[in-house]
Amino acid sequence: MADNVIESAPSSSVQQVPAPAPSLGTNPVYPLISAEIHVADANPLPPSSRSSSEGPSGSGSGGSGGSSDPSAIGSSSGATTRPPSAEDEPEAKRKKVDSGRAGPAGAPSSSTAAPSHQDKLEYRLGGILCCAVCLDLPKTAMYQCQMGHLMCAACFTHLLADARDQIATCPNCRVEISKSNASRNLAVEKAASELPSECQFCNREFPSKSLERHEQQECEERPTNCKYYRIGCLWKGPVHEAPEHEQNCSHPKKSGYEVMTALQVNDAKYEEERKLFSTLIDLLSYEKIIFNDLQMKPYRTDEYVHKLFYETSRFSAFNHQFVVKGRINKSQRDPHQSSERQITYQLILKSKTTTPLHIHFFALRGPFSEMKVNTQIYKHTFSDESNESEYYVLPLPDSSECNRLLAAKAINFRLLMFLLAK
């Protein structure tokens, strides 16, 4: 026989494979061993399956001459082997293949590499479901225009507040938006509530729906005051450091004279609240008390530079005619360019009076409004010479509440008035 072959005993059933002729100066045993290993790796079946499929003779269809086609090695006369798949490969070989795909530097392959922070599904969804204005995930409601562009509740009311008596439009497609034609997207709200958000104190991630509870009640890094702040301790730090600080706080050991300044500040706050309560009780004892549920609507002046203002229709009180007029940021020319907003209002007497009218008044939420307003009592003496009060601040909690009021086509409130009879 011209070629060197490996002949095995009938019991071992090892294939006869042609081995390449050894080159000059090399050991002829090495090619034979490598050829046998190659055959073993190329056959996807275990040894028991190979022996059963090849038969007891151990000779393949190629006979003693063998075959140069590797796919024909190990096949019987009447059967063909299925092509190898990734599941059929030995574990060691799969690891080797994966390590070979990793590249020369040993970096993980594209199929086994961990996704980066930006490639994770939840972050890609966060970029899709975010508000088109502030680019943040919604914390409450999510609205959409007729074309499907998303806006969180805060930005939606802000856009309506900017338009006021004009037409508000979507910042993406410029289609008209209003409370009547924009709809809430409940699917986006529920999906966004499950996406992770980062705690502003500990930088850990939690589902958006539980983030507020974590930041207010559970986070160990949330800021807190010392329990002795009422007597002047100014320490503020993480809640987990508070017990240690309070054990070493020096304020409980101070004398009454040393903590008197802090107590005076607290007393001033309590005195102001007491005066407000006492004034309100005194006003309720007046003989002439009246209230009106009013609605302020937006208007613009006829000047060259139009200025926005709000005004109610005339209403009767104490046999006289009054109106309430309001303005935004003290009649600022472009209030939509400011993020901090404030509403001020004044009471105007529209009828003639022969005697001065000493009137106390303040605004309340009323039955047809959801306005969040604090109690602040104002007073003015109306006469023919002074028929307009000064502009007084409508005591809203913050600018977001102001935007929410301005987003509506009208501002509803209740005005209480007390006439002092002399």
Residue 231 lies in a domain: no
In this predicted structure, the answer to whether residue 101 has a pLDDT above a threshold of 60 is no
- Per-residue tokens: 20: 């390449």
DSSP line for 105-123: T-PPPTTTSPP-TTTSHHH
Residues 6+ apart with CB under 8 A from 114: 108
How does the average pLDDT of the chain come out, rounded?
Answer: 75
Residue 307 lies in a domain: yes
User: What integer is the mean pLDDT of 154-168?
Assistant: 78
Residue 245 lies in a domain: no
Domain boundary at 193, 216, 239, which?
Answer: 216
Residue 90 lies in a domain: yes
CA 299, 303, 304, 309 torsion-angle sign: negative
Query: Residue 219: its pLDDT value, please?
Result: 92
What's the domain count of the chain?
A: 3
Residue type, 87: E
Domain boundary at 201, 216, 231, which?
Answer: 216
Residue 25 lies in a domain: yes
In this predicted structure, the answer to whether residue 415 has a pLDDT above a threshold of 50 is yes
| E strands in 189-338 | 196-198, 205-207, 223-225, 236-238, 288-300, 308-311, 315-317, 320-328
- CATH code at 310? 2.60.210
Terminal Cα distance for the chain, rounded: 137
pLDDT tens-digit readout, 115-148: 555 567 777 888 888 888 888 887 778 999 999 9
CA distances to 18, 34, 70, 87 from 29, rounded to whole Å, are 13, 9, 21, 33
> What range does the domain containing 41 cover?
1-104
Give the range among 31-35, 209-213, 277-281, 418-422 with minimum mean pLDDT: 31-35
- CATH code at 210? 3.30.40.10
Domain match, 100 and 40 both: yes
**Which of 25-29, 70-74, 205-209, 331-335 holds the top average pLDDT?**
205-209
CA 211, 217, 222, 225 torsion-angle sign: positive
Domain match, 133 and 95 both: no
Domain match, 91 and 165 both: no
pTM greater than 0.85: no
Exposed / middle / buried, residue 214 (Cβ in 10 Å: 0-12, 13-18, 19+): middle
Which residue has tokens 């002074």?
A: 386
Give the range among 14-28, 199-213, 290-304, 324-338 with minimum mean pLDDT: 14-28
Residue 142 lies in a domain: yes
Confidence label for 87 from pLDDT (cuts 50, 70 and 90): low
Q: What percent of the chain has pLDDT over 70?
A: 68
